[in-house]
Structure 1
């Protein structure tokens, strides 16, 4: 009887252990997510190989509003308020099935692991910079892939600061309305700690519908692991942006400087509004004035408007229109895909498309 009692106790202990393991496993999750976005694009001018006007264009393009992508996002509850998180995200083109809107690698948008808790979050791997987060949050058109500050950003530095390889970052919890982010990406070049080194900081304050966001970025060229789409352009970036929400309207304004080594030293002043007309209809508009501090004759002004109609929480149809005027050597375009760089003079364009989040 004593032996039987011991066996029963052992079995009960094993079952308890298995139940505990099952409960711990149940606290982990992995989610497939993404966005599919395609549009018809028209522009009155295009940039030819010789730098001149290549004429009008009408084409199907990927990512007319937001970048098409898919990814795997996971999280595990470690107990005591700690969580382990990861994200693997790839850009993809609906136009041809290839990579797009990334640094050209398979998981070229994000590939990181983090530890998060009451202290904030520490993240390691390929990730967005605090500088990018700040510009995105104060862009009047939500950093659309057509007619927004995103085009000016990529015009200046391609994927640098968007997709930062070999990076470690920290995001603080909110304290009295303040949140902060910091990132360091060593270049990984043996014998040269400065080659490819990137760092960025941001500080944000929010209260009663008002927000102010300041950030900087400093990056060197010459990373040990160059990417197909340049992500180590040497530049200094500074931005200061504000937003205010009143009812269904959000007003935003910002100042950004891109000081690119051997190229432009551009000041960008932006402003605009986003208005939720109904729960299913939103409209927005913005203006971006860019001027080269090295040569003020190089300047551009970009203006755009857009409307979105939500067929569901996940699917939206949209229409956007924009006009850009370039002077001197300025080459501001209209769209990330299909019209990234513009030509001298005035160009108008528009797109209509559909986006689905999953």
Structure 2
């Protein structure tokens, strides 16, 4: 017994050190996600109906973890996979994967640095100025009328600064990982500055995407975006503008634009009425005609709890310069635009966030 006591006393310093090390390197793992499905009807030249995923918020699940390294420094990772709630498959078309986000990084007093695949800083800064969050038939199509309008990029190095009196800076560089040409083919750069103070929010973002077109020639896209919102308490107003300028080698620059206005009006303790207007001006590369379209959307969201909501959305799309050969904006490609370039859409769905 005495021998056992001596061994126990002798081991106490080592146990204390182990306990201190465990407290020093605290870590956490979180499973999170959203499941959203909506019965959808789109009426155009023909009528399309079905169940769509992400009518109010994208469907996804993910894992994220944080380890406290001490001295204010933390290591973190984020893995997020999109899902189609109507079929259970992955939304990338290649089965379940982590194409929504796959990053690892460090966070501290300097801000945070993450590497991998992620949403661009420009998209993160601007998506909050769409009251429909770029989801479902009511969402803005501002990211989709340029030559290269990916919301996410592979091979990304991203930085987000701490807040300086409400001002936050963020920037990305994405390697093209191809042989360099004059424009360092497929490389991507962006930067955004955002201001959040009380009820007011504003953001400015710039991007450049170097790419090649279907002929193998260089093509560069530069975009500029500005957005703002103000929450009066009884109503929230949002506005945004985005311009994408495509410059093919040897050709003149093509400019595409989106103007957006939105409002969110709380109704009672659990409801929100949302409305938005988007005006699009878009011109495919190599085509002389500039097409225009208007989109009006109206929605209602009723919160059954903090995590579960019922919703309904109506959207009307009018392609002013519709041409069957040109296609144009569409609420649902499977439902062809009418001969007048119109589409009506209705979604009723349920979402649950966990």
Mark yes or no: TM-score above 0.5.
yes
Change (3 A) 1:278 1:7: same
Q: Which residue of 2 aligns with 1:214?
A: 204
2:305 alignment partner, SS class: coil
CA shift at 1:146, angstroms? 2.1
**Gap change, CA 1:269 and 1:349, over 3 Å in 2:** same
> Are residues 1:58 and 2:44 paired?
no
Deviations 1:251-289 (A, max 9, x none): 011111123456963111110101122231111100001
Q: Which residue, 297, 314, 317 being the options, matches 1:321?
A: 314
Distance 1:95 1:157 in 2: 30
**In the alignment, which residue of structure 1 is the partner of 2:353?**
357
Q: Does structure 1 residue 307 correspond to structure 2 residue 300?
A: yes
In structure 2, the residue matched to 1:110 is 101
Unaligned runs of 5+ in 2: 214-218
Partner of 2:32: 33
1:244 equivalent in alignment to 2:230: yes
Q: Does 1:331 align with 2:328?
A: yes
Q: Secondary structure at the match of 1:153?
A: coil
Report the counterpart of residue 216 of structure 2 in structure 1. none
In structure 2, the partner of 1:170 is 159
Q: Partners in 2 of 1:104 and 1:259 — Cα distance?
A: 34
2:186 match: secondary structure: coil
Structure 1: gaps (5+ residues):
46-52, 224-232
Match of 1:50 in 2: none
- Tell me which stretches of 4 or more aligned residues in structure 1 moved more than 3 Å: 3-10, 101-105, 154-158, 190-193, 260-264, 292-297, 341-344
The alpha carbon displacement at 1:104 in A equals 7.4
| Cα offset, 1:127, TM superposition | 0.8
**Cα RMSD over matched residues?**
2.8
Cα displacement (A) at 1:342: 4.9
- CA distance in 2 between partners of 1:191 and 1:264 (Å): 24
**Structure 1 contact 131–161 (Cα < 8 Å) conserved:** no
Matched, 1:203 2:193: yes
CA–CA distance in 2 between the matches of 1:288 and 1:264?
A: 20
**Please, what TM-score do these two structures have when normalized by structure 2?**
0.86
Shift in Å at residue 59 of structure 1? 0.9
Query: CA 1:252 to 1:101, structure 2 compared with 1: closer, same or farther past 3 Å?
Result: farther
Asked if the contact 2:175–2:187 (Cα under 8 Å) also holds between the matched residues in 1, the reply is yes
Give the whole-Å Cα distance in 1 for the aligned partners of 2:92 and 2:231: 30
Q: Deviations over 1:57-78 (max 9, x none)?
A: 1111111111111110111111
Between 1:138-147 and 1:314-323, the stretch displaced more is 138-147
Instruction: Classify 1:61/1:141 alpha carbon distance in 2 versus 1 (closer, same or farther; 3 Å).
Output: closer
Is residue 179 from structure 1 mapped to residue 168 from structure 2 by the alignment?
yes
Question: In the alignment, what sits opposite 1:265?
Answer: 255
Q: CA deviation at 1:155?
A: 5.1
Is the CA contact 1:212–1:242 (under 8 Å) kept in the aligned structure 2? yes
Query: Are the equivalent residues in 1 in contact too, given 2:142–2:242 (CA < 8 A)?
Result: no
SS at match of 1:333: coil
Q: Do the aligned residues in 1 keep the contact of 2:79 with 2:98 (CA within 8 Å)?
A: yes
Q: 1:195 to 1:4 in 2, by over 3 A?
A: same
* Equivalent of 1:131 in 92, 100, 122: 122
**Do 1:290 and 1:300's aligned partners in 2 also have CA atoms closer than 8 Å?**
yes
Aligned to 1:49: none
How many residue pairs are counted as aligned between the two chains? Answer: 335
Equivalence for 2:344: 348
Alignment match, 1:279: 269
Tell me if structure 1 keeps the 8 A contact 2:221–2:245.
yes
TM-score, L = length of structure 1: 0.85
Q: Give the SS at the match of 2:22.
A: helix
Classify the secondary structure of the residue corresponding to 1:235: strand
Most deviating of 292-301 and 124-133: 292-301
